[in-house]
Amino acid sequence: MNVDVLNRSGVQPAATSKLAIADGDIHPRPPGVGIGGVSKALYPYLTKQWREHVEAFGITYRQPWEKGSAYPKGQPQAARRDAWTPGGGSPGSDLAFMQKQHLDPNNVALGILNPLTSGQGAQNPDLSNAICHATNEWQKADWTGQDSRLKASVVIPYEDAVASVKEIELRANDPDFAQVFLLSKTSEPLGQRRYWPIYEAAAATGMPVGIHAFGNGGWPNTAGGWASFYIEEMVGHGMAQQAVLTSLILEGVFERIPNLKVVLIEGGLAWAAALGWRLDAQWKKLKQELPHLKRAPSEYIRTNVWFTTQPIEEPEPRTQLAEVFDWIGWDRILFATDYPHWDYDDPAHALPLQMTEAQRRGIFQDNAKRVYRV
């Protein structure tokens, strides 16, 4: 959690895990510039026109600040204070350091890369497309090409379905890519028609669609207006993910594309049981409005949706988490750390639960292998 570590110079020793794990949420970051800017590491993959555009105008989102995100984080780049590279580089910007600090000691056998500074949701749609494409090339060159444990996410300019489908198809047969990557805050709720071609294209490749917290859709982040605080934004990602899942289910996305796999990332998961009960209760009364749904809404969660664990909810006593996993289904749950961010969940400590060997293996490795087909 949010601990200031005095010795920031070197690698902090981590407890080694015997069990090889899959980590469903690792954030690589192009070195150099903060969120909202464009790193020079992407320049080799941008045309001259876009390099010049970036240098003349920068990149802007539906939020106020030139540098940084809408709500100031709890600490720089929302990162663990010990995750800055020895040379002072951004957390997540150096593979060798990530290997030493995270991948090796935690015995990460499969790490899913989810780049967040990739132009998704940028105001200029063509720039968004260019930066997404460059980010995918950069992931291949600097990450998956260097460490076979890592798999990239296809970042797409999701507000432009045509461009997104093109980018997905470009990566369809590339084993370096394991999922198609979206953010949760979009121009419209993600179940709506404009996004369907993205889901069709993703399902055709066999890759799941990962929907990660954050984004700049431009709408107030609560139904009662803009929250004031970063803590509200962070807690609110749980509500946004509930709304995303509600939209996907009720719009009939899983009826239309039965082989679509959706992974909800960094929005929590304990809420999924109660959301399913609420959806089912209302659907029973209102289903005439939704004739395209052939099954109770909660059933789609059991067949088409997975959840990454971090930030795992922390009940007192922790055993109550197991009750919720029973309700949701242990096969739906994918372990994730969110490295290198401040609210990183340590695989040795994040799930202090009595689990069967099968349940433990499922959450820490097998479920991910099935979803990501590795």
The rounded Cα 113 to chain-centroid distance in angstroms is 9
In the complex, the smallest distance separating the C-beta of residue 357 from another protein, rounded to whole angstroms, is 24
The answer to whether 351 contacts another protein (rule: CB under 8 A) is no
Phi, psi of 26 (to 5 degrees): -115, 135
The answer to whether 230 contacts another protein (rule: CB under 8 A) is yes
Asked if 196 and 171 count as a contact pair (C-beta separation under 8 A), the reply is no
Task: Work out the number of other CB atoms within 10 angstroms of the CB of residue 144.
Answer: 21
Q: Segment contacting another protein (CB under 8 A): 9-17, 85-93, 142-150, 322-330?
A: 322-330
Query: Nearest to residue 315, comparing CAs of 305, 329, 325, 330?
Result: 325
* C-beta of 171 vs 332, nearer to another protein: 332
Q: What is the DSSP string of 132-156?
A: HHHHHHHHIIIIITT-TTEEEEEE-
Provide CB contacts within 8 A for 178, sequence distance 6+: 112, 151, 152, 153, 207, 208, 372, 373, 374
- Which of 114, 135, 221, 367 binds another protein (CB under 8 A)? It is 221
In the complex, the smallest distance separating the C-beta of residue 239 from another protein, rounded to whole angstroms, is 4
- Which of 167, 251, 266, 338 binds another protein (CB under 8 A)? It is 251
Instruction: Measure Cα distances from 168 to 14, 290, 371, 372 in Å.
Output: 37, 30, 17, 15
In the complex, the smallest distance separating the C-beta of residue 348 from another protein, rounded to whole angstroms, is 18
The answer to whether 126 contacts another protein (rule: CB under 8 A) is no
The answer to whether 322 contacts another protein (rule: CB under 8 A) is no
- Which of 60, 99, 107, 282 binds another protein (CB under 8 A)? It is 282
The answer to whether 232 contacts another protein (rule: CB under 8 A) is yes
List the 262-265 sheet strands across, edge first. 21-26, 108-113, 150-155, 177-183, 209-212, 262-265, 305-308, 333-334
The tokens describing 140, both together, are 């291949």
- Which of 235, 258, 259, 294 binds another protein (CB under 8 A)? It is 235
* C-beta of 178 vs 253, nearer to another protein: 253
The answer to whether 9 contacts another protein (rule: CB under 8 A) is no
Asked if 357 and 47 count as a contact pair (C-beta separation under 8 A), the reply is no
Binding mask 300-319 for another protein (x = CB under 8 A): -----------xxxxx----
Provide CB contacts within 8 A for 311, sequence distance 6+: 266, 268, 338, 343, 345
The residue assigned the tokens 């990450």 is 143
Binding mask 28-67 for another protein (x = CB under 8 A): ----------------------------------------
Binding site for another protein (CB under 8 A): 1-2, 74, 184-190, 192, 217, 219-232, 234-236, 238-240, 242-244, 246-247, 250-251, 268, 270-271, 273-275, 277-283, 285-286, 288-290, 311-315, 320-321, 323-324, 327, 342-343
